[in-house]
């Protein structure tokens, strides 16, 4: 799978495709164009990738309106455990 491959997320019915994406060492950013008459609720998903076994903190995802930062959403944090295959 490449960094931009979202084929495993095909099951999401109301997902939005980003207009622009940036894959950085410490975060992923995306820009999604929305019109004023679009549905106010939509789905954004991401895939976590780890290359070494261990326990990792899953940081919260944060979404905000670039022109109106008072409109935002965020998820909770979590934990991910990666185990080696036996």
| Same structural domain, 39 and 60 | no
Q: Which tens digits make up the pLDDT trace of 12-42? A: 776 677 888 888 887 888 888 888 888 878 7
Residue 37's DSSP bridge partners are none
What is the spatial distance between Cα 10 and Cα 3, in angstroms, rounded to a whole number? 16
Q: Domain containing 7: what range?
A: 1-47
In this structure, the answer to whether residues 4 and 15 fall within a common structural domain is: yes
Q: Give yes or no: residues 34 and 72 share one domain.
A: no
Check: pTM over 0.85? Answer yes or no.
no
pLDDT, tens digit (0-9, with 9 covering 90-100), for 39-75: 878 777 777 777 899 999 888 888 888 888 888 888 8
**Per the structure, how many domains does the chain have?**
2
DSSP the chain: --TT--GGGTT-SSB---SEEEE-SS-EEEE----TTS-S--B-------SS-EEEEEPPPEEEETTEEEEEEEPPPEEEEE----
């Amino acid at each position: 799978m490449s960094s931009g491959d979202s084929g495993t997320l095909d099951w999401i019915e109301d997902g939005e495709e980003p207009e622009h994406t940036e894959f950085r060492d410490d975060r992923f950013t995306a820009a999604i164009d929305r019109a004023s008459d679009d549905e106010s609720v939509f789905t954004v998903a991401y895939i976590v990738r780890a290359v070494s076994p261990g326990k990792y903190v899953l940081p919260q995802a944060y979404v905000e309106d670039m022109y109106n930062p008072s409109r935002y959403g965020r998820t909770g944090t979590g934990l991910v455990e990666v185990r080696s295959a036996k």
